[in-house]
Structures are given as C-alpha cells and as structure tokens.
Amino acid sequence: MGWTKKAIDNLLLAFGKVSIMLVRMYMHLVYRPKAHFVDRSVQTNRLKTPCIVIANHTTIVDPPFILSVLRGKTAIVIAKDWFEKPGINWICRAANGVPCDRFNLDTEWALLAKKELKKGRSVVIFPEGKCREDGELNEFKSGFAFLARSTGVPVVCVGLDGVYSFGHRIHYVVDVPRRIERTKGVASSADLENHAAQLRERVKLLKAGALRHSVAGLPAPGTVYAVVPPVPEQSATGTEGAR
C-alpha cells in the first residue's frame, strides 16, 4: 500500500501548489498590495539571489501575504505544531515549509533552512514567533541572525502594515539587504541577540512607514539604534516561530 500513500501525498502536494496560486490571486485582488522601497537599489520584489526575509507578525494572514508579494523561489519557517496539523500539512509542504519547534530548544530547523538556501530559495522568517495584534512588536528570537551569520546570506527586513480589512490596501516597506557578521570581542550568543534587537527596531520603523504609506524620514539602513525593550503583551495568539 506504499504506492497508494505516495500517490495521495503527491496529489495533496499538487493541490497545495494550486491552492497557493489561488491564495496569491486572492491577496492581490482583495488587498491590492503596495510596496515602498527604502532605496533605489531595491525597486523590485524579485528575490534574485537567496536571502533571509524577516517581517513583523500581526495576524495569521501575514505568511500567505508575504509569500504572495515576493517573487522568486521561497521557503518559510512554520511552527512545528501547525506543520503537523493533518488539515494544513499539505499546504505547508507545498509552500516549502520548514518546521520549527517553538516550545523546545530546536536547531534542526536551521539545518533544514540551510538546505533550502542551498537550493536557491530565500527563507521567510517571522522572528517574533507568534502574532501580536496590539500594534507592538514582540522580542525577536535570534535564530534568523544565527542562520544569516553562519551562511553569509543577507537579511532583508520587511515592514507590514498588518491591517487586513476588506477595502484596505495593504502597504509594506522593503529594506536593503544586509549581512550579519560576528562582532569581535562579543560573546556569540550576546552578539546574535544584539543583532536581533537592532533589526527588531528596524522592522518596527519599517512597519510605521508602511502604516503612513511613506519611507520619508526613515533612518539610513546602517543606523545603530538605542534598543527599546518590547512592551509586555496583554494578549496574543501564536503561529509561526523561529528560535
């Protein structure tokens, strides 16, 4: 009966690919995405070379939305508990999902993500690890920084306005790619946490730019920020995560 299971898996995978195409059409028709670019050097959504894309996470609509507006080969880090749900596993696999256990120490996801990068796919990560709907950003987990530093692949920050209401045009801001390198004299874990905190501040500003539909006044990409600790969340729901 092995061939039957394989045939069903292949059928579900094909159905997932078709579903993703339909979701992309829906996102563009309903939300009419509008991109804003920080610099003239990044005036396209096409990911010509593999990179790590990070963004703020407001609702469960964020993952399909960002996969819909990006062009090029992509993979996405998805919470393992979502990945294992029988009803949606097929679409997670169709989206080249990388499962990540957000409740336990997990390093396997990074190995899987590296394989996706070697295949020429960019990897999408929501470093907050879960949704936050009150307008603030949770702390960024440093897993994406580890992945970027260990592979040399650049990070592209994206700020989403996160307002998925009927009739509202979604705006988002795309930053210039940047590489994460080891800081001399700083412990590895502390260095990763610092990079994560810096890019959290950057994404926070990009999100603000998306909400006001403008990148005017945005600090230069290389700006070093005074890190502001995340405001404790009152209530939030979880989806994707990367440790």
pLDDT 10s digits, 204-225: 999 999 999 999 999 998 899 9
Low-confidence ranges of the chain (pLDDT < 70): 1-3, 235-243
The token pair that represents 54 in the structure block: 């990070």
Q: What is the mean pLDDT of the chain?
A: 90
The token pair that represents 239 in the structure block: 């989806």
User: Using CA of residue 137, residue 142, residue 148, residue 149, what is the dihedral sign?
Assistant: positive
pLDDT at residue 243, as a whole number: 47
**Secondary structure (DSSP) of 42-74:** G---B--S--EEEE---STTHHHHHHHH-BS-E
pTM: 0.91
* Rounded Cα–Cα distance for residues 191 and 214 (Å): 31
pLDDT at residue 1, as a whole number: 54
**Tokens 């994404």 map to which residue?**
203
**Which residues make beta-bridge pairs with 46?**
71
Nearest to 63 by CA among 97, 37, 90, 33: 97
Amino acid (one-letter) located at 178: R
Whether 149 contacts 192, CB under 8 Å = yes
Amino acid (one-letter) located at 165: S
